[in-house]
Structure 1
């Protein structure tokens, strides 16, 4: 007896050839069962639920109509790809999603030939699809029969400038290319900006059922020559404010809007455009995140990200209570600063909840800005705010801040503007894997002249760093903190302003000094407890600052100890590299100091639990203990540890 859902039609799909042999009626049944299977799978693993449920019918229709993987299907962001994975030979592993050695939560080229392009950040699909289309026409593929390129992009992702750069280029090149606009009206946060308003106006003038009827009428005409059918489809919607004019100005033939959950619309439209298109085509499909699962539909984020849950009730598994999350501590500290200074404001790029700014927006709506999926604009917008006398906090995940690096350099650092960068999800993040790891921000920020770079070792330190950033007007400043719960330390009522470039001593010891930067301090202290049983008592210091370095403290540690070890949750080129440069300049190595740095390895670490990922990176307590033993020359003990 199994508690798996009954899916007789889906069970018949052993390959996509089986799917393509089905009648349209059976394809609808497969879609229903695929939705049930997706819900059950995510209930076991957690993950992105709502996005996948919103594209179930679209997934079935695309694979039934197009010749994947010969035709390249590219999912933007790709957190909606779970149904796609089930249909493309990975159903037997779908309950390993986002787990160690399991399926990725995103598309991944090394995982399947049905994943022609990896993704996890948004707005890349049209550029990649255009690349495939041009490669096809130039004969670049080993397989000369390389087929069509299809990009599926959401309305939230379409708010990013990169999508328009790609569409503009695609229109100019006039290559045969399909873009499916998956317009679900609800990205992670409510879509913002002019693009969202434009899409809303496409169907705001009449009830959705009237538009649905109009679109069905358009479908009946589409088998006629493509251009005529598309024109009639648009004419049926002439009472919309502007129809598909903007897309057509970019060089795309526009078809829609159609109901993305109605197979009677999807299948004929896709078959017709595939048969008749010669240039780029945009198909506008209206969908609903969380479709078909009431607990997801009723959530404000439509089940964007969920932990394991009970399928019947939708109730999510609760984690054991611990310290407050770093994100919530940041939010509380920022509110305290904003209450005392009306110039404090906050900017996020489509992640108000993830970055902790939801409460800030509720209390100070005129001082909180969600710029949409537009990190480049968000950074320069903050630069303008700072130049105008405000105190902007640019709250962006480490992995997403990478997208605004040019703006960080030219618009912020070069002009010495006091933008405050609150960098969430620093270090390894668990189930989202390598695509979302915050590995590189210290390396690329600390190399910029005039930048101050901090890392919180616990949640109390984070409060102090928020206060320090708010008080800092002498150039840009950044502070980073990890995902998840804090260490449970006692929190002050309000953060204190730290002296710039000044670290702190944690414990005095002898022989070897450990210089921590960031949230590995708890692991350092656990390692010291284990070393104490061997009679080894390292000195421990918390650097707080990667730039400027606490020269006095670091040189003192080097002078008074035989060995110095730095530890950070970042890549080579970050904190440890700056310390090594200082020691080399001061001639410390000439005196015989043994120096080692513990950093993230020069590889991308696949998804697992954070503990398992830091095991792979060799940055947990046992690895720190082993490193100390090694530098002290206790090699045999180190190998047995």
Structure 2
């Protein structure tokens, strides 16, 4: 690996934005070049998001140079492009701890720096948040600005337009930067568009516009309106900004987001403008300045550690297939004989495995963009018309569509199939992407079936079970990463709804596992057996409906019962406790314990460390059992006496 730290003499003098603002504008090009080299070196060392950050290097430099951050509030949408921002805002000495335990978050985070006024990781929140800052400044007569930087993908979501529809309330204190890195809105930009952007953002133009407005107001209302529309549409035809004008923004652009000579004067004009709010349309290139990322932006969005010279990413030895690929391949195969099967994703075809389905069945694969609410109700409509839709969404993103899950799916008892990816802890992505709550928020809903796969073979069977289930909504959750290595059956099995399986039988201790903690449950059983504690291990498979018959039997015949799940409080354990209470089993002296994710948000770390912190590994199960059997002794003491 050739990842030596780059030579950055000018960047070394810029610890914070106030130092950056002491430089001459002519020096910013060198700062940007050195900043780009530092980002490449840092991400090569730690892994993380690369292409998006490289695309906003010049924009980051320009924003901190022109605006008075942190007094002016800079809000990054999603935040995966914030590494250059972190380097310029006092965190360069920790930049090689990105996404690691105890290190910097891969996203913006309020507790990390005063330069991160709003935490992010989910898309399309920046304009709403910046509007809040801007209106608060207006109400308190604070001259500070609020600047939202949002990508052309994120701005496709409805929430962004809801915010823009209210933006006039902020006056000139709100600035939105539309970072168009896919050339999806405007044609390539050059000198003419840069000139137009400077012109329409200049004080002279804005002054003339204001004068014209005053003059036309002296005319009839009809003439005033017509004159305003003529000016608006004239600018719209030249710059493409009519849509944003209709939403109340003064549109500027498009401009080259990598040309500091274009960016700086436009940002200065907007900073000093008396009118507002303003939207600046900036065109950038993902991966800018690093050939491997420029040539394969999709592959360099999120990367493993890599060699800076060659771009080659460090890859581990080949292993079991990823859960997302098992889902995509299984569904694609099933769709060969069932034309009603279709797949929906909300801008994550690769992350969910829907891309594999789409290759085989392009007419039945739908990427609706960053629109989870629409995805769920769209699936409900398909189901109501007799199709068999699978809505494949990360657990943490499905939270954004909970009302649609309740109102449009559950109440109507429509057979929408939910493939819930990234369920449970997610390592380096941390709390914002951890799928901690889906068991709880789905298992409380009438009509729902909620399954959790213990391994890739179980996932394949559960996908098949969901595919042929037409009696209401059904969900299967599965984790990020690779399977356990078990073979996937050639002939898939339709699982009986609400029935678990006994993996091994014992007499004294019962471990009731849901999902991927099954391997740890089996390890714990071995450890308990070594202490003479005969142990039953069950894979319940279903959080809802519970296998009540099996659970009653286990609770009635074992001295200690422990539930374990990679989910928050309110899930499997809560439902088993309710069943035990309703059946009067707790009154009979049963020692029933529940193991689940802790009631806090866990920061990023390696997965094994996260599980240790959560207390969901085999030794933790053993500890729970021993404490239940010997109330006054810790498990460590019990271990010593055994």
The normalised TM-score by structure 2 is 0.93
Question: What is the rounded CA distance, in whole Å, between the counterparts of 2:22 and 2:170 in structure 1?
Answer: 35
In structure 1, the gaps of 5 or more residues are 187-195
In the alignment of these two chains, the number of paired residues is 618
CA distance in 2, matches of 1:594, 1:229: 79
**Which residue is 2:484 aligned to?**
487
2:412 equivalent to 1:415: yes
- In the alignment, which residue of structure 1 is the partner of 2:221? none
2:310 is aligned with 1:310:
no
What residue in structure 1 maps to residue 168 of structure 2?
171
Q: Secondary structure at the match of 1:354?
A: helix
Provide the C-alpha distance between the structure 2 equivalents of 1:271 and 1:437, rounded to a whole number of angstroms: 40
Distance 1:131 1:173 in 2: 8
Q: Is the 8 A contact 1:463 1:494 kept in 2?
A: no
Asked if residue 341 in structure 1 is aligned to residue 338 in structure 2, the reply is yes
The aligned counterpart of 2:45 is: 44
Return 489-498 or 428-437, whichever deviates more: 489-498
Q: After the TM superposition, which residues 119-138 of structure 1 pair with which residues of structure 2 at under 5 Å, given as runs?
A: 119-138=120-139
Within 5 A, what are the aligned runs for 1:108-187?
Answer: 108-139=109-140, 145=142, 147-171=144-168, 174=171, 176-185=173-182
Q: In structure 2, what is the Cα distance between the partners aligned to 1:230 and 1:44? A: 51
1:273 partner SS: helix
Cα distance between partner residues in 2 of 1:233 and 1:428: 53
2:259 corresponds to: 262
- Alignment gaps of 5+ in structure 2: 211-229
- Counterpart of 2:96 in structure 1 is 95
**Do the aligned partners of 1:345 and 1:368 also contact (CA within 8 Å) in 2?**
yes
SS of 2:563's equivalent in the other structure is strand
Change (3 A) 1:327 1:302: closer
**Equivalent pair of 1:234/1:243 in contact (CA under 8 Å):** no
- Distance, in Å, in 1 between the alignment partners of 2:337 and 2:575 is 35
- Judged with a 3 Å threshold, the aligned counterparts in structure 2 of structure 1 residues 420 and 118 are, in CA distance, closer, same or farther, namely same
Q: Secondary structure at the match of 2:149?
A: strand
- CA RMSD, Structure 1 to Structure 2 (Å): 2.0
| 2:194 is equivalent to residue 219 of structure 1 | no
In structure 2, the residue matched to 1:189 is none
Query: Is 1:580–2:577 an aligned residue pair?
Result: yes
SS at match of 1:495: coil
Partner Cα distance (2:193, 2:547) in 1: 68
Query: Equivalent of 1:471, from 463, 468, 472?
Result: 468
In the TM superposition, what whole-angstrom CA distance separates every residue of 1:499-547 from its partner, at most 9, and x where no partner exists? 0000000000121100000110111112222223222231100100011
Correspondent of 2:364 among 367, 390, 395: 367
Q: 1:439 to 1:180 in 2, by over 3 A?
A: same
**1:250-295 residue CA offsets vs partner (Å, 9 max, x unmatched):** 1100000000110011000000110114321000000111111111
Q: 1:450 deviation in Å?
A: 0.3
| C-alpha separation in 2, matches of 1:176 and 1:146 | 7
**1:297 equivalent in alignment to 2:276:** no
3-state SS, counterpart of residue 362 of structure 1: helix
Secondary structure, in 3 states, of the residue corresponding to 1:595?
strand
Do residues 288 (structure 1) and 289 (structure 2) align? no
Contact 1:466 1:495 in 2 (8 A): no
Q: Is the 1:215–1:233 Cα contact (8 Å) retained in structure 2?
A: no
Helix, strand or coil: the match of 1:473?
A: coil
Alignment of 1:459 onto 2:456: yes
1:229-240 → structure 2 map (5 Å cutoff): none
Q: 1:19 corresponds to which residue?
A: 20
CA pair 212-523 structure 1, distance change in 2 beyond 3 A? farther
Instruction: Pick which of 15-24 and 372-381 moved more.
Output: 15-24
The 1:257/1:302 distance shift into structure 2, 3 A limit, reads farther
Where 2:280 maps in the other structure, the secondary structure is strand
1:217 deviates by 5.1
**How far apart, CA to CA, are the structure 1 residues paired with 2:526 and 2:52?**
45
1:595 offset after TM fit, Å?
A: 0.5
Partner of 2:213: none
Q: Normalised by the size of structure 1, how large is the TM-score?
A: 0.93
Query: Could you tell me how far 1:335 is from its partner in structure 2?
Result: 1.1
Instruction: Quote the residue 1:320 is aligned against.
Output: 317
Q: What's the CA shift string for 1:566-609, capped at 9, x where partnerless?
A: 00000111111111111111111121111100011110000001
- State whether residues 153 and 181 of structure 1, in contact with CA within 8 Å, keep that contact through their aligned partners in structure 2: yes
Q: Taking structure 1 as reference, are residues 93 and 468 closer, same or farther at Cα in structure 2, changes over 3 Å only? A: same
Asked if 1:548 is matched to 2:567, the reply is no
Aligned-residue offset at 1:237: 7.0
1:5/1:300 CA distance change after superposition, 3 Å: closer
Deviations 1:119-178 (A, max 9, x none): 000000000001001111222xxxx75611000000000010000000001135545310
Q: Is the 8 A contact 2:56 2:257 kept in 1?
A: yes
Rounded Cα–Cα distance in structure 1 between residues aligned with 2:527 and 2:24: 65
Deviates more, 1:169-178 or 1:377-386: 169-178
Residue-by-residue CA offset, 1:166-213 (whole Å, 9 max, x unaligned): 000113554531000000117xxxxxxxxx5xx2xx32xxxx25x443
Report whether the alignment pairs 1:65 with 2:44.
no
Residue 637 of structure 1: how far off its partner (Å): 5.8
Q: Does residue 385 of the first structure (1) align with residue 364 of the second (2)?
A: no
The answer on whether the counterparts of 1:214 and 1:237 sit within 8 Å (CA) in structure 2 is no
Q: Quote the Cα distance in structure 2 between the aligned partners of 1:516 and 1:557.
A: 12
| Partners of 2:139 and 2:149 in 1: CA distance | 23
Indicate conservation of the 8 Å contact 1:218/1:233, yes or no: no
Any idea what SS the aligned residue of 2:96 has? helix
Provide Cα deviations, 1:439-494, integer angstroms capped at 9, x if missing partner. 00010101010000000011100011000000100000000000011111121014
Secondary structure of 1:606's counterpart equals: coil
Where does residue 402 of structure 2 map in the other structure? 405
* Counterparts of 1:510 and 1:27, CA distance in 2: 72
Residue pair 1:230, 1:254 contacting (<8 A) in 2 also:
no
Q: Report the Cα offset of residue 327 of structure 1.
A: 1.0
Shift of 1:219: 2.2
Q: Quick one: distance in 2 between partners of 1:223 and 1:233? A: 16
* Whole-angstrom CA distance in 2 between matches of 1:405 and 1:299: 35
CA contact (8 A) 1:290 1:302 kept: no
- Residue 395 of structure 1 contacts residue 422 of structure 1 at CA under 8 Å; is this kept in 2? yes
Measure how far apart 1:108 and its partner are.
0.3
Q: Secondary structure in 2 aligned to 1:377?
A: helix
* More displaced 10-residue stretch of structure 1: 98-107 or 313-322: 313-322
